[in-house]
Structure 1
């Protein structure tokens, strides 16, 4: 029987951790453990996990201060004892066969693989952002991921992925220089690609994501931080502008591209907080297609602005 370890980095995850732990309680796979790494306890997450996991094979490691997601992941993986190592965010929910399916894919593989399960964003409260942008954009993202050619699947290495313990030792730890939001996972997926290990995306290991952006402000800030982290990734691996490798060249030409660049030119973290709220209020009165375009303009402009800045004052 293939044993499975689930590694969960968390900071401020007290609201969503119970959902994850409940889904772990329902797993059909008989041989699993979870390692929850609390990256500086700011909301009682450590006590919450201890209470919820009294009758579950869950261990908790509490870091005394915030060290960043990469450091928390590395600490968790160093403690994990399973044959298959599943990386999970603290705001996911799994179906009962989730861990069994992760294990089965690795058992069936003729050679080492990296396994990606996409995350379906859950918007329980709806709202103008979810209606205008969140739901349709999520659907397009997932469709593009399933259609991605084999040499691009590593780009989707993220919150619900797995490798064998042997592959983890081969690739090595996450890069702890990623201290803000985003791209530490893409970096690890890129290292899988460089090592010649194929990355496969399978629909039967999808998970629900309960921590998706729920407002335009939140989504635009994530885009800004991700843009800055993208710059760090390109510099770390000496990849220039990354166009050939990543297949996305920024705003591009044409009227839309010029509009995105215009937004980027006047955008920073402080302005994004105000602009996002304004967009959500305007969108309540707009037809859905127009509202989607307005959100997309701010999100894409924020990503370009973050990439240009290359650094952030804060993170989420």
Structure 2
């Protein structure tokens, strides 16, 4: 068996270059890197000892689901690893996934540690990354055994996962009706659960997430989050991303109307400041913001919970 690395590209050229540097230092060489490019121009990348292919896509509406599917279809290997452009794989990354996928016809989710601002300024230094990297407080830690069962499909996370290509294609990949930010991950997790495909946490297969400013909850994507949450409701009969929707209600961006929501206004500078990642933290936290919002507006929080 061979192993293809699939990633998506929209900006962040320096991050992608670091991902490639990480792949160049693998204990086991990947068969290839496939980049689904969601911008007008391909990337200029470091030299590699393995093939790199860039698949150019229509970038309208940030087609994350379609881009992952395109990368998977273009891949030549029978095992796929999906790794976000922001991540740097540690030297054992390919070996760990290759071994686990030899044992399991399942979805495997490797470890992720978040790097603070400035961690990559001196290049790819794994000893430095190990010392600085932090686990996300809202994600499960690595299992004590090589693999551990994830019993809640909502925990599926496309940032760093692997599975056999034939299984991915048989499931139909990600639902391409999801456009823009949000929802396609949880939808794919639900598809896996319905098909009886195990979702496993993998010990190892570690990636280091590079710092970049972002917002959690993603207020700058409120329109696509709400549209994709509706798609999930229409498909599965229930809402997803409810913690984000709850935060948007508390911020006055949307309001609940029956079994739907309506957008009230666009986010303003105060909303963006509240949800922005702080430079002294390696990652943003939806839970931290939601806790602050609930403390400020307990009456609205209580009425939302009762709805």
Within 2, Cα distance between the matches of 1:185 and 1:296? 24
Q: Counterpart of 2:27 in 1: which secondary structure?
A: coil
Describe the shift of the 1:266–1:233 C-alpha distance in structure 2 as closer, same or farther (beyond 3 A): closer
More helix by share: 1
Is the aligned partner of 1:124 residue 2:117? yes
- SS of 1:141's equivalent in the other structure is coil
2:138 aligned to which of 138, 141, 146: 141
Alpha-carbon shift at residue 249 of structure 1 (Å) = 11
Aligned-CA RMSD value: 4.0
Q: Structure 2 vs 1, CA of residues 195 and 299 (structure 1 numbering), >3 Å: closer, same or farther?
A: farther
Pairing of 1:163-178 with structure 2 (within 5 A): 163-178=163-178
Q: Is 1:115 the counterpart of 2:114 in the alignment?
A: no
Q: Which string of whole-angstrom CA distances, capped at 9 and with x for unpartnered residues, describes residues 255-279 of structure 1? A: xxxxx68733356673343333368
Out of 259, 265, 289, which is 2:252 matched to? 265
- Using the TM superposition, give the Cα deviation of residue 104 of structure 1 relative to its aligned residue in structure 2, in angstroms: 0.4
What is the CA-CA distance between 1:25 and the residue it aligns to? 0.7
Paired residue total: 267
Gaps of 5+ in 2: 120-131, 255-263, 280-286
Partners in 2 of 1:184 and 1:300 — Cα distance?
30
State the shift of 1:29 in Å.
1.4
Q: 1:234 to 1:220 in 2, by over 3 A?
A: closer
Structure 2 CA distance for partners of 1:226 and 1:53, relative to 1, 3 Å: farther
Which residue of the partner structure matches residue 101 of structure 1? 96
Contact 1:154 1:192 in 2 (8 A): no
Q: In the alignment, which of 51, 55, 59 is matched to residue 61 of structure 1?
A: 55
Residue 140 of structure 1, CA deviation: 2.3
Moved more, 219-228 or 59-68: 219-228
Q: Indicate the larger mover: 65-74 or 18-27.
A: 65-74
Rounded Cα–Cα distance in structure 1 between residues aligned with 2:112 and 2:76: 25
1:288 corresponds to: none
Q: Could you tell me how far apart the structure 1 residues matched to 2:167 and 2:253 are?
A: 44
| 1:18-37 equivalences in 2 (<5 Å) | 18-37=17-36
Segments of structure 1 that go 5 or more residues without pairing to the other structure are 127-134, 252-259, 285-291, 309-316
Answer whether contact 1:94 1:207 (CA < 8 A) is retained. Answer: yes
Residue 195 of structure 1 is matched in structure 2 by 195
| Residue 231 in structure 1 maps to residue 229 in structure 2 | yes
Which residue in the other structure is 2:5 paired with?
6
1:48 counterpart residue number: 44
- Change in Cα spacing, 1:170 to 1:120, as seen in structure 2 (3 Å) is same
CA distance change for structure 1 residues 201 and 223 in 2, over 3 Å: closer, same or farther? farther
For the residues of structure 2 that align with 1:261 and 1:55, how far apart are their CA atoms? Answer: 46
1:122–1:230 CA distance, 2 compared to 1 (3 A): farther
Preserved contact between residue 114 and residue 208 of structure 2 (Cα < 8 Å)? yes
For residues 166-215 of structure 1, the C-alpha deviation after alignment (integer angstroms, 9 at most, x for no partner) is: 21122112111111112212211221111101100113123111155x36
Q: Kindly tell me: are residues 238 and 64 of structure 1, through their superposed partners in 2, closer, same or farther at Cα, counting changes over 3 Å?
A: closer
CA 1:220–1:238 in structure 2 vs 1: closer, same or farther (change >3 Å)? closer
